[in-house]
Structure 1
């Protein structure tokens, strides 16, 4: 039996956009398709390849798991891992080039890739996978027949209770578990609110610039988006009143405005609450990354100031845990619980109970709080390193905004450069960026790059990618 050696696989590229596990997967798949590795050939053990390549064991196992899931390799216990017997080698399906990746990214606001500076991703390299795997295995072993029926459409009761306790301590929100509805993500949350409280023809304030999917979702529901300008104090309530005093709702990001990262001032918070109370309007607070503030303790949520029951608080686990779990939640005023129960029953959405049970255990045993504390420290370090690295290379062409928190940097382009054109060229080169003008309604938007820093591990890495961006300017 032939035993493949790592040297027979093309070397890995530390500067490539593809993560190492994906590079290993691509190389083994290519070797099998080309006949370099034949059915029945033994491939190196994960332990051996770990030593050979100097990578983490988990990286190798991730690549092998993907190969096994697609039927390329089989584990044979003590006999090792082999290329699947009887496998008929075929030319591999064309792996998307950087150009086709650009098309994919352009078609999806949140692509299913892991690229340098990709928005919306936490530090995936630092996620506590061993703890997660242990809790997951325990949850699976503990499953009973009662856990296998249709889950509650409102969310797992234990998870709703843990979220309520967490919000009281961390965000200053006092609510009962019955006020919390577990959803499958922010879009599901907005859809739920739209069906429960809004109707076609209603007008809703949106921050400008602001999160593009929100206006897209409202447009599908025939709800008119009213762009309200944002300045250093957050959304301009006075401008909103001038533009649409009788708007039915306002969608805001008070902790770190998305995408400018400014915090909504206390005066603006009180003015917004006053407007909602006087006009019987609703405030939808999107607290997507409120935990990540670096200049002081995280600010209390706007919901914590809500005495009139006008604020609906939307949270998510995508930024603090993993986007792939598709888990978020909505806190509604007590007077709206029955209405949201009716709408939730009609829509019958929700997330798998096993996933919810895993997150419940992660929170209950203290891992969630410790993870956020670690990430807050890590992100402060990575933000500083990324900003320093990019500034050293791109300082003559861009200015990096100073901001109190968040998970991305804002690079203001000097001169009359187009952020959209630069982003398109970055996508072609395997780098990710978003154009501030794409987040802006109207034609008056400033030109800037939005670059996530959570997966940039050092100043040197930022400098390497910065030089690649420099070559595109």
Structure 2
């Protein structure tokens, strides 16, 4: 046997024997040479043969008879479909594209993230919370973080709730999935159109009956909701996604009254409410609710970073027992280490300090981008600026179709999304006016001039 210096001798023996067994060079139940006999034949140590035999035994290639030795386990020949083949071509196309500049609405700027502070807090978690880290977490998350979030939403969003109402999850999609499980099997859920496409995809995967509801100048159409009568409706009232509309109090009252009268739920996705420019934050819909009709979804993906994977859900008290009953045997999917570190960050004031810093950074970046867009594209664009969130809508003049714009943007290595991504049906818009979603959180200020020039090439040629 020729020894491979990169492998232990026993692995060579093991691999050779396994290949011979799978090639049916041995008969079923055939006895293998003794360990000593095999060692002498191969001029290796008995221990090397013993290790190889024990590995084959553990994997089920051979079996033993007491005081008789090792024997070949009967095996069926593996059936190989000649038409089956493995290809990576389909997967390669799904790999993330490399862009020079990004107008993405999904990302955040982590250049100012307090890495040193986070690392120190994480070290303290290891030192002081070993009883949490070494056990399966509570299904709703550590009570310390839930207490911190309850205080946070009280002064930030006007929400009065108990920590028992809060559920921690690895993302709003995960929490929405748990929420659907609390509802009836044939539930009808209304969604905004255009709206968050990932929620629609998730609802579709679960077999939920989806009712797309159009928007008007106040947000989701209350008239269509009353006509279709869903059991629940998902809304983004503080900064409608993607159109940016801030739902006025009149529409909020209409929506709450409808939910109360029909015993339906409103699922409030408050995804980027922390960022409001030039005026105070808009109170949450949950804070208006007096009839336990609103379920609140919040996230730290926009304020910190998507990679943290920590979101939360605030349930009406009527759903808490049902949630606990259905999930008491489930293991949570969030990182306990990140959750406890986040708790310390909030509790000790680091989170609020960072949030203020990012608010100033985003406000400056946003104003600079808007000024550059107006300077370069002039009358060819109209910016629908609601002064909130991490994106805004641009109505642009272009002779190209939405599909052509998306292709041209990729050619320019510019990450850009049109309204088509968020509409239930792709828009066949042949007019000059096109709606674009311009995110500004990921792009750096020094990149803005070149990015806007490329956008001009995309739209105007």
Same fold (TM over 0.5): yes
1:453 paired residue number:
440
2:136 paired residue number:
150
List per-residue Cα deviations over 1:299-346 (Å, max 9, x = no partner). Answer: 110000111001000000100111111100000001111111123335
2:203 paired residue number:
218
**Residues 104 and 395 of structure 1: is their aligned pair in 2 closer, same or farther, counting only changes over 3 Å?**
farther
CA distance in 2, matches of 1:392, 1:292: 25
The number of aligned residues is: 365
Q: Is the 8 A contact 2:121 2:344 kept in 1?
A: yes
> What TM-score, normalized by structure 1, do the two folds share?
0.73
1:394 CA displacement: 2.6
List per-residue Cα deviations over 1:4-42 (Å, max 9, x = no partner). Answer: xxxxxxxxxxxxxxxxxxxxxxxxxxxxxxxxxxxxxxx
1:403 paired residue number:
386
Mean CA deviation greater in 406-415 or 212-221: 406-415
1:445 CA displacement: 7.6
**Residues 101 and 405 of structure 1: is their aligned pair in 2 closer, same or farther, counting only changes over 3 Å?**
farther
CA distance in 2, matches of 1:380, 1:346: 45
List per-residue Cα deviations over 1:202-235 (Å, max 9, x = no partner). Answer: 2211111100011111111111211111122111
Q: Is the 8 A contact 1:273 1:310 kept in 2?
A: yes
List per-residue Cα deviations over 1:35-71 (Å, max 9, x = no partner). Answer: xxxxxxxxxxxxxxxxxxxxxxxxxxxxxxxxxxxxx
2:160 paired residue number:
174
CA distance in 2, matches of 1:193, 1:146: 25
1:367 paired residue number:
350
Alignment map for 1:433-452 (pairs within 5 Å)? 433-444=416-427, 447-452=434-439
> Structure 1 residue 204 and structure 2 residue 193: aligned?
no
CA distance in 2, matches of 1:102, 1:233: 39
1:146 CA displacement: 4.9
**Residues 102 and 289 of structure 1: is their aligned pair in 2 closer, same or farther, counting only changes over 3 Å?**
farther
What is the SS of the residue equivalent to 1:290?
coil
Q: Is the 8 A contact 1:419 1:449 kept in 2?
A: no
What is the SS of the residue equivalent to 1:400?
strand
CA distance in 1, matches of 2:104, 2:457: 19
2:146 paired residue number:
160
What is the SS of the residue equivalent to 2:442?
coil
What is the SS of the residue equivalent to 1:329?
strand
Alignment map for 1:18-167 (pairs within 5 Å)? 103-105=94-96, 116-167=102-153
> Structure 1 residue 229 and structure 2 residue 220: aligned?
no
2:19 paired residue number:
none
Q: Is the 8 A contact 2:136 2:331 kept in 1?
A: no
1:444 CA displacement: 5.0
1:300 paired residue number:
283
Q: Is the 8 A contact 2:137 2:331 kept in 1?
A: no
**Residues 431 and 175 of structure 1: is their aligned pair in 2 closer, same or farther, counting only changes over 3 Å?**
same
Mean CA deviation greater in 426-435 or 151-160: 426-435
Give the one of 312, 315, 335 matched to 1:329.
312
Q: Is the 8 A contact 1:181 1:329 kept in 2?
A: yes
**Residues 383 and 146 of structure 1: is their aligned pair in 2 closer, same or farther, counting only changes over 3 Å?**
closer
CA distance in 2, matches of 1:273, 1:155: 29
Mean CA deviation greater in 189-198 or 176-185: 189-198
1:293 CA displacement: 0.8
Mean CA deviation greater in 339-348 or 220-229: 339-348
CA distance in 2, matches of 1:102, 1:267: 46
Unaligned 5+ residue runs, structure 1?
1-99
Alignment map for 1:183-198 (pairs within 5 Å)? 183-198=169-184
Q: Is the 8 A contact 2:396 2:436 kept in 1?
A: yes
Q: Is the 8 A contact 1:283 1:312 kept in 2?
A: yes
1:419 CA displacement: 2.9
**Residues 462 and 338 of structure 1: is their aligned pair in 2 closer, same or farther, counting only changes over 3 Å?**
same
**Residues 213 and 451 of structure 1: is their aligned pair in 2 closer, same or farther, counting only changes over 3 Å?**
same
Q: Is the 8 A contact 2:189 2:211 kept in 1?
A: yes
Q: Is the 8 A contact 2:132 2:336 kept in 1?
A: no
What is the SS of the residue equivalent to 1:197?
coil
CA distance in 2, matches of 1:278, 1:298: 29
> Structure 1 residue 270 and structure 2 residue 253: aligned?
yes
2:323 paired residue number:
340
